Structure 1
């Protein structure tokens, strides 16, 4: 069970962080909330209940989103620091890093202009969830999730499309 959870962590951690950033969290807050969710998952592994979770990708996102939504100042789990563990260096930028950073910030700024529900549905959609699955995870009706996604797409298209030059009248 330990190995399967660690594989799940390797595959999903960065996706969960991206999901939370699409929901409006800054990177540090998204990483904190994702870590809290995975710690909760690890507790389930050690308690022997992890096998009872059917939709693990959805479950981890729901727990991470709850951690992100928790009002500031409420007690958060303080993780122990592991000494002697070599972590991979992920600080090397890939090709076109500056341009990708500008594009990512532009998209995140556009997502910030959506309502909370629109951001949540859009983030789940970007992670490959159907509208029905998103509705179930967020406690919405299927049609409401579809309408939120449609409205979010329309608003993002308007925000992110290049401005058309005004026609000159001489």
Structure 2
């Protein structure tokens, strides 16, 4: 499993952080390669595009501070960014009751995270899943295996398979309901 994770990682583990050394270049490489996929990953957990972008950026800030200790950046970022999103969502709900969001058109989003109609449909379908099913599907869609997902989420492989099965069943029903084949 470690070999699979190493291959999946887009940068070798860094040996230092800061300056213009190898670690800084590796960080920049990972940042460029992973920012948009990470934003989409957080969106699969139910975040709006701007919320996902904020969580992804904060995850990269935290990663930079401890870059020399991170062996598998993709996995680390996909673990930390959703946590940041969920904590921020809870804090907003606690601090500001009622309607707090303007229209989606109020925020500026980079063009590289704009969604196609098909992506919007997928995200709408994912939003109908339970939190755990959405979480498992997000990791699965990003190419992680059942054992890897189980390890990261600290649940059994059987629980991962069960959530995948239930999510797929619900997504299929959603597709049929929307007129898909």
Quickly name the TM-score band, shorter chain normalised. 0.7 to 0.9
Q: More helix by proportion, 1 or 2? A: 2
User: What is the CA-CA distance between 1:151 and the residue it aligns to?
Assistant: 1.0
Does 1 or 2 have the higher relative contact order (CA < 8 Å, sep 6+)?
A: 1
Instruction: Name which one, 1 or 2, has greater alpha-carbon Rg.
Output: 1
2:32 alignment partner in structure 1: 10
1:32 matched to 2:49? The reply is no
RMSD of the TM alignment (CA)? 2.5
1:42 alignment partner in structure 2: 64
Q: For 1:6-155, what aligned pairs fall within 5 Å after superposition?
A: 6-44=28-66, 50-70=67-87, 71-73=90-92, 91=111, 101-155=116-170
2:105 alignment partner in structure 1: none
What is the TM-score with the length of structure 2 in the denominator? 0.71
Please give the alpha-carbon distance, in whole angstroms, between the structure 1 residues aligned to 2:122 and 2:152. 24
What is the TM-score with the length of structure 1 in the denominator? 0.75
User: What is the CA-CA distance between 1:163 and the residue it aligns to?
Assistant: 4.0
User: What is the CA-CA distance between 1:92 and the residue it aligns to?
Assistant: 8.4
How many residue pairs get aligned? The number is: 141
Structure 1, residues 21-69: CA drift from partner, whole Å, max 9, x if none?
111111010000001100001111xxxxx23322221111111011011
Structure 1, unmatched stretches of 5+, are: 45-49, 76-89, 165-170
2:116 match: secondary structure: helix
Verify the 8 A CA contact 2:63 2:70 in the aligned structure 1: no
